[in-house]
Structure 1
Amino acid sequence: MSTSSSPLGPLRPSPLVEQAAERLRARIAAGHWEVGGKLPGETTLARELGVGRSTVREALRALAGAGLVQPRQGAGVFVLATEPTPDWPTRLRRAAVTDVYEVRMAVEVQAARLAARRRTPEDVAAMEAALEGRRAAAALDDLAFVDADIAFHAAVVAGAHNPVLDDLFAEFTPVLRRGLVDLLALTGLRAQDPNTADAEHLALVRAITAGDAERAADVVRGELEDPFATG
């Protein structure tokens, strides 16, 4: 691959940073600069793109955030990859439901354990309200029931008082929602029991209320290990 830089051509007036980043991204994807190779300096790139150095700097920062380049102090900017590294939400959207479910197990088991240790009266009230909401949704369609089920588990995670766990569960939610709706449609699980797994959800609330961390963790583990149980 050639490391020489041919003129990239002037850009349209706006938005310059986005256009500069896209032009450089296309060059990197085409192999104009090899992985491990050094990009031309900001002054050279700015001249070829017809923009200021500050615009080039912002464009390179965007490419670094995508995992395409890496600035090295005193050495310049080097190519790391020809394709961007997918961000976390994108990776989750592409992930298999089974893979997400395995991680969900780790998140929710620990969240239940922590909720039993840290729950407040307000947390317990929120879980109880969510449990009633789940029961009410049993009379509705699968989508409404899944949403109510997820809301219940979100209330349990919130009881752990760990914002990282909250964020992880929120990121999982779209994938879980699709997977649970598909599961119910394929299995017809709610045909015989519209409020499937209610006893397990009640047991979880009771364990958390009682402050029994290991019981709470065991209840969640038992639920999630059963592929035919919703929740």
Structure 2
Amino acid sequence: MAEPMGSALARTTLAQLKARISAGEWPVGSRIPTEPELTEQLGVGRSTVREAVRSLATLGMVETLPARGTFVRSLTPAPSLLFDALQTYHPAELIGIRRALDVEAAQTAAAQWIPERLEAMETAVAIEMEAMREHNAGIPGGVTRCTLFHGAIAQASGNRLLADLDTSLSRALDSSGLGAHIAESIDPAVLLNEHDRILTSIRARDVAAAAHLMALHSDAALRTLRHTVLTTEMTTLSQQPG
């Protein structure tokens, strides 16, 4: 018999999973055990595990990617206050502030990444690449999403507030359906190429390139909303041939 939603057992299971993530047992970007594996490890029913994992996703700590599993996005829950506040804004405003945060995260990550954070960013890109291969092969698995990679960059910045804002923004975009709309509007191959270039610049600790490439990448999302992006001298130069 399935345990009722919101049961004490489900809350205890959620607390156990949160503790394991916060302790670094499953680093950011890593895949957590499957539902059957967690059921066996924790000694609870599958419905309890499912409810706890859904709660983790609501808290912004994990993200479930169809046909690939559930991955850690953050070691700590994003404050619900941030998420609630962000839901009152227009989509273009959310994307606009996301652009500013992503640029700051990219340049800060480039300046001070540590090995485990770099590994998380590389893992996110590898997951995206596998998703694109499956898509090209006609294997169902959903559309490649930016959130795992962007979340890994935010974590690599070392700025907890920035990482919390990133998680809350992702949740707000997803709850509005905007996240899925943007993902479906961008060619997966183009998205993956942009992510790879950003990662290369971060790995090389090229702060200026990381910030610039992230700005251009974020502008593509704004264009899917038919929003006029800010054109700077650097943006104009980067779009010229050669």
TM-score w.r.t. length of structure 1: 0.54
Alignment pair present for 1:208 and 2:206: no
In structure 2, do the counterparts of structure 1 residues 121 and 88 end up closer, same or farther at CA, with 3 Å as the change threshold? closer
Structure 2 partner of 1:182: 181
Counterpart among 135, 145, 149 of residue 129 in structure 2 = 135
Larger gyration radius, structure 1 or structure 2: 1
* 1:224 CA drift (Å): 0.7
**Residues of 1 paired with 2:193 and 2:156: CA distance?**
20
CA contact (8 A) 2:144 2:183 kept: no
**Residues of 2 paired with 1:195 and 1:174: CA distance?**
24
Question: Which 5+ residue runs of structure 2 have no aligned equivalent?
Answer: 1-80, 225-242
Deviations along 1:8-67, one digit per CA (max 9) or x if unpaired, are: xxxxxxxxxxxxxxxxxxxxxxxxxxxxxxxxxxxxxxxxxxxxxxxxxxxxxxxxxxxx
Q: How does 1:117-196 map to 2 (within 5 A)?
A: 117-138=111-132, 139=134, 143=142, 145-146=144-145, 149-177=146-174, 178-185=177-184, 187=185, 189-190=186-187, 194-196=188-190
Q: How does 1:214-225 map to 2 (within 5 A)?
A: 214-225=208-219
CA contact (8 A) 2:121 2:153 kept: yes
Structure 1 partner of 2:191: 197
Alignment pair present for 1:109 and 2:82: no
SS at match of 1:94: coil
CA contact (8 A) 2:109 2:154 kept: yes
CA contact (8 A) 1:157 1:166 kept: yes
Q: How does 1:9-158 map to 2 (within 5 A)?
A: 88-138=82-132, 139=134, 143=142, 145-146=144-145, 149-158=146-155
Structure 2 partner of 1:33: none
**Residues of 2 paired with 1:174 and 1:164: CA distance?**
15
* 1:184 CA drift (Å): 4.4
In structure 2, do the counterparts of structure 1 residues 111 and 184 end up closer, same or farther at CA, with 3 Å as the change threshold? closer
CA contact (8 A) 1:114 1:160 kept: yes
Deviations along 1:76-111, one digit per CA (max 9) or x if unpaired, are: xxxxxxxxxxx5422312322110011011111011
CA contact (8 A) 2:83 2:171 kept: no
**Residues of 2 paired with 1:125 and 1:89: CA distance?**
28
**Residues of 1 paired with 2:182 and 2:141: CA distance?**
10
SS at match of 2:205: coil
Letter in 1 for 2:162: L
TM-score w.r.t. length of structure 2: 0.51
In structure 2, do the counterparts of structure 1 residues 89 and 212 end up closer, same or farther at CA, with 3 Å as the change threshold? same
CA contact (8 A) 1:143 1:181 kept: no
Aligned length: 137
**Residues of 2 paired with 1:143 and 1:217: CA distance?**
29
CA contact (8 A) 1:100 1:172 kept: yes
